[in-house]
Chain A
Amino acid sequence: MTISTDSYSQPKRGWYRRNEIAITPWLFLAPGLLFFFVYVVAPIWQSFGLSLYDWNGLGDVSTNGTYVGLENYNKLFGLNGERADRNFQISLWNNLRWLVLYLLAIPAGLMIALFLNQNVRGIRLYKSLFFFPFVISQVVVGLVFTWFYMPNNGLFTVITNLFGFQIPGGVLGNPNTATYGIIIAGLWPQTAYCMILYLTGLNAVDPEQVEAARLDGAKGRKMLWYVILPQLKPATFLAFVVTIIGALRSFDLVSIMTNGGPFGSTRVLSFYVFEKSLSERGLEYGYAAAVAVVLFVIMLVFISYFLWVMYQEEKAAR
Chain B
Amino acid sequence: MNSVFKTSFAALVAAGIVASATTATAQSLTGDLVIFSDMHDPAPRAVMEDMAARFGEMHPDLNVEVTIIDREAYKTQIRNFLTADAPDVANWYAANRMLPYVEAGLFEDVSDIWDEQMSEELASTKGALSVDDAQYGVPYTYYQWGVYYRKDIFEDLGLSEPTTWEEELANCQALLDNGIKCYTIGTRFLWTTGGWFDYMNMRTNGYEFHARLTNGEESWLSDEVRATFANWRQLIDMGAFIDDHQNYDWQEALPFMVNGQAASYLMGNFAVAPMREAGMNDDMLDFYQFVEITPDLPRGEDAPTDTFHIPTGATNKEAAREFLKFVVSAENQTLINNGDNLGQLPVNSASTVGEDKFLQEGFDMLSNRAPGGIAQFFDRDAPAEMAVAGMEGFQEFMVFPDNLEDILQRLENTRLDSQ
Contacts and interface: CB of A to CB of B under 8 A. Distances in A.
B190 interface: yes
Interface string B178-214: 0000000000111000000000000000000000000
Contact of B79 (A57, A86, A150): A57
Contacts of B413: 83
A200 to B, nearest CB: 39
Instruction: Give chain B's interface residue range (CB within 8 Å of chain A).
Output: 20 to 34
Interface in A143-159: 150-152
Contacts of B395: 261-263
Contacts of A169: 244, 246-247, 399
Contact of A280 (B75, B246, B399, B410): B75
Contacts of A58: 79, 82-83, 100-101, 104, 106
A281 interface: yes
A234 interface: no
Interface of A: 56-60, 64, 75, 83, 86, 150-152, 169-170, 172-173, 258-259, 261-264, 275, 278-284
Interface stretch (B12-20, B57-65, B153-161, B382-390): B382-390
Given A261-B395, A262-B246, 20 more contacts: A56-B100, A57-B79, A58-B82, A60-B83, A64-B104, A86-B410, A152-B244, A169-B244, A173-B244, A173-B246, A258-B188, A261-B246, A263-B392, A263-B396, A264-B392, A275-B388, A278-B76, A281-B384, A281-B387, A282-B384
18 contacts: A56-B100, A56-B104, A58-B83, A59-B83, A60-B83, A170-B247, A172-B247, A261-B190, A261-B395, A262-B246, A262-B396, A263-B393, A275-B388, A280-B72, A280-B76, A283-B100, A283-B384, A283-B385
A261 B278 CA distance: 29
A1 B413 CA distance: 99
Pick the 5 closest A-B CB pairs, nearest first. A58-B104, A263-B396, A281-B384, A151-B244, A173-B246
A85 to B, nearest CB: 9
A259 B388 contact: no
Nearest to A263: B396
B417 interface: yes
Interface in B365-394: 379, 384-385, 387-388, 392-393
B405 to A, nearest CB: 15
